[in-house]
Amino acid sequence: MSFFHLSKCWLSGSAFFRKYIEDPAALWYFACFVVLGCAIIYPLDQRMLQQQQSTKTVIHLDAIGYDTYDTTNDMYPVDGKVTNHTSVKQPDSLYARYALLMDASNRRVLFEKDGYTKVPMASTTKIMTLLVALEQGNPDSVVTVSEYAASMPNVKLHMKAGEQYRLGDLLYSLMLESHNDSAVAIAEHVGGSVEEFAKLMNEKAKELGANSTNFVTPNGLDAENHYTTAYDLALIASSAIENEEFCKIIQTPSYTFYEQTTGKSFTVNNKDRFLTSYEGAIGIKTGFTGNAGYCFVGAVRRDDRQLVSVVLASGWPPNKSYKWKDTIRLMDYGTKAFTMKEIVKKDTEFQQIPVTNSVEGGTVTPYTEESVALLLQPSENVTFDISLPNRLNAPVKEGATIGKLVVQINDEPYTVIPLLAREGKTRITYVYVLKSILRMYFLVYTG
């Protein structure tokens, strides 16, 4: 609006107001007009708000109507079923009493055999010992060996009380050759005592969602109330392999280090046969005690997937090789029976929702800000529940959550994706109404 037009409007409005001031009857009529307008608008506004709050639509779909992709040429059709992909049988004939295969990228369980039963886990405990030491300790700090640490049974480094080692060196001793004395020395150094270090381990377990786990020792020797589940152990391992230093240690073939006061050298060699016998293997940890049997937690990283396997109580002596056979069966299942599918694309838009009491008017477009891709079998059915209101009441903030998309696999909820508002809408207020009335009927410029 130009300065001359603005001045003209102001003069016109001033003339009207001068008339109202000079004529009390005219001023009375104007006040009644404004009050009546607000009295009509307010109930309508509240009625619309109540209607908006009480109406909601939930739509169930077999598939979202847009293209999806995978790493093969298979199609993901509108009925939500994968086709043209050879089915691979589940690894039912395992030696392990307890086993689980997890997609480490999203913690989805791909297979389990009594995977939620609490059992001892032997030296796979040291996965958590290493993770806590990396997060809580300084690798360049010096560890002084206690009498208690030196007294640990085999397998051990045979360190002596009073000897000093760099913490970062003992982490290789811990994982490559599973030395029990190194585990206790690390725990006492980082936590102040084995008991305090166990508290740190348990706190970390709860943080990761491993709620059926309790650590008592840092080395996994049989102890009362020292237990986990295959599922919890897979959660812990999936988190651990996200740590670059953790992965560097567990993949090291051989490592040499020195006692700090005498210069005595030690060389530890990686005992993980899986690391060199399976394509894409990155570790992780073996274990054995009389109560736990042979155990192994493995991890495989390939182009489109990252898998973690757990086998517990996979035989007792002399069946030392059972854990390797079980792990290979699990990993073969994970690499061959599943195809990576993008089931929800980022920036997918849904039906527009009308907005009431909005200055701008019109509608708001719900959309997804994230995508969902996961490993699927041919037999798995993916469906979606879309929950959105029938209408919205202004104000609506751009990017605000206005609904949700529930992804289900075989009718079981997998994840919930928020649906966001593409546009923002400003609410009509009494001030806005009054300004509009003054502009339209009294030629008053209100800015």
252 in the same domain as 114: yes
383 in the same domain as 313: no
What digits encode the pLDDT tens for the residues 44-80? 555 545 444 434 555 555 555 333 333 322 222 223 3
215 in the same domain as 147: yes
Instruction: Provide the pLDDT for residue 359.
Output: 86
Cα–Cα dist 270/268, whole Å:
7
Over residues 239-247, the mean pLDDT reads 98
Domain membership flag for residue 87: no
Instruction: Provide the pLDDT for residue 89.
Output: 83
Instruction: Provide the pLDDT for residue 8.
Output: 46
Over residues 83-97, the mean pLDDT reads 75
Domain span including residue 19: 3-48+429-442
* Mean of all residue pLDDT scores within the chain: 85
Number of domains in the chain: 3
Buried b (16+ CB within 10 A) or exposed e, 149-183: bbebeeebbebeeebebbbbbbbbbbbbbbbbbbb
Burial tier of 83 (Cβ tally within 10 Å: 0-12, 13-18, 19+): exposed
Domain membership flag for residue 292: yes
304: three-class secondary structure by DSSP: coil
At which of 286, 304, 336 does a domain end?
336
Cα–Cα dist 366/57, whole Å:
13
Most confident of 35-44, 59-68, 172-181: 172-181
Over residues 364-376, the mean pLDDT reads 95
144 in the same domain as 38: no
Confidence (pTM): 0.80
215 in the same domain as 157: yes
Asked if 397 and 420 touch (Cβ cutoff 8 Å), the reply is no
Domain membership flag for residue 86: no
Burial tier of 248 (Cβ tally within 10 Å: 0-12, 13-18, 19+): exposed
What digits encode the pLDDT tens for the residues 127-163? 999 999 999 999 999 999 999 999 999 999 999 999 9
* Residues carrying an active site annotation: 123, 126, 178
305 in the same domain as 396: no
Helix (H) or strand (E) holding 136: helix 126-136
Instruction: Provide the pLDDT for residue 60.
Output: 56
Q: Where does the pLDDT of residue 183 fall: very low under 50, low under 70, confident under 90, or very high at 90 and above?
A: very high
At which of 283, 307, 336 does a domain end?
336
Domain membership flag for residue 90: no
Instruction: Provide the pLDDT for residue 39.
Output: 53
Q: CATH number, domain at 405?
A: 2.60.410.10
434 in the same domain as 404: no
